[in-house]
Amino acid sequence: MVQSSSRFTQRAAMLGGAALLLVGLSNSALAACPAVTFSQLQSALQSAVAAGNGGLGFNMWATIVDRDGVVCLVAKSGAAGTQWPGSRVISAQKANTANAFSLPQFALSTANLFSATQPGGSLFGLQESNPVNPAVAYVGSSATWGTPADNLVMQKIGGINVFGGGLALYNGGILGGLGVSGDTSCADHNIAWRVRKTLGLDHVPAGVAPGNTDGIIYDVVGSNGNFASKSGFGHPTCGGTEQSVAKSIGAGG
């Protein structure tokens, strides 16, 4: 009995050690969050909003995900309750999309996906893939939203969004994605562009926009579902001065 108990203990120890090794391997295989603090993201977002982006001038949400699509940070500009509540999840969708459809050598912004996902476009139906995880999206008190305690943090939100406001993050490689939401989609793109630049994560290797970037391309004509884009990756205008702002900050045009 003593020998049997001893063998059982040895086996348990071996199994426990193997489990710890697997956990260690699993953790080491996980993508790391970009080296951005909550304060840095919030400050960059506030500055970007204050700069003026040609849209409605509303307060915003911003989300960063890592390369695995795990939410790292959620921040907001302005006092709680002064943003569109629904735009929190949209910002996370945009971050997820930009990360999910960009590569180490090639970036696509969510703005680049608008025309491609319309009927007849090269990526039609993409917006129906990878849906938001509702068990993650709506958990917790709104009092924590846009704070370090936001319930989205360390969760995989999923979701696909195909209008402006999502950008992949690069610095020596692709690190994840940034999404912002809360204004017109055109202004969202400008704000995301400013935030990414401020964070120093804008070393984009190549893209579909002029200049080989992931900038917004305003070449869409038509309306009421009858859209055409010369490039195939265009985005409609939004009625304000967003296009001129985009040109002035190098975010497209």
Give pLDDT tens digits for 35-66.
Answer: 999 999 999 999 999 999 999 999 999 999 99
Q: Which residue has better confidence, 63 or 9?
A: 63
What is the pLDDT, as a whole number, of residue 222? 78
16 & 97 share domain:
no
Cα gap 83→75, rounded to integer Å: 11
H helix or E strand, kind and range, residue 84: none
Neighbours of 137 (CB within 10 A): 17
H helix or E strand, kind and range, residue 92: helix 87-100
185 & 236 share domain:
yes
Cα gap 161→164, rounded to integer Å: 8
100 & 5 share domain:
no
19 & 119 share domain:
no
What is the pLDDT, as a whole number, of residue 121? 84
Please count the structural domains in the chain. Answer: 2
Give pLDDT tens digits for 148-198.
Answer: 999 999 999 999 999 999 999 999 999 999 999 999 999 999 999 999 999
Confidence of residue 225 (pLDDT cuts 50, 70, 90): low
Give pLDDT tens digits for 89-131.
Answer: 999 999 999 999 999 999 999 999 999 998 888 888 888 888 9
Domain around 72 = 38-249
What is the pLDDT, as a whole number, of residue 224? 67
Indicate if the pLDDT at residue 18 is higher than 70. no
| CATH code, domain carrying 176 | 3.30.450.150
**CB environment 166-183: b (16+ within 10 A), e (fewer):** bbbbbeeebbbbbbbbbb
Partnered with residue 73 across adjacent β-strands are: 64
Q: Which residue has better confidence, 75 or 119?
A: 75
- pTM, whole model, 2 decimals? 0.87
Indicate if the pLDDT at residue 134 is higher than 70. yes
Q: Three-state DSSP class for 109?
A: coil
Please name the residues in contact with 253: beta carbons below 8 A apart, sequence gap of 6 or more.
Answer: 215, 216, 218, 243, 244, 246, 247
219 & 94 share domain:
yes
- Please give the C-alpha separations between residue 79 and each of 8, 33, 103, 124, in angstroms, as whole numbers: 59, 26, 36, 38
18 & 135 share domain:
no
Cα gap 22→198, rounded to integer Å: 38
96 & 141 share domain:
yes
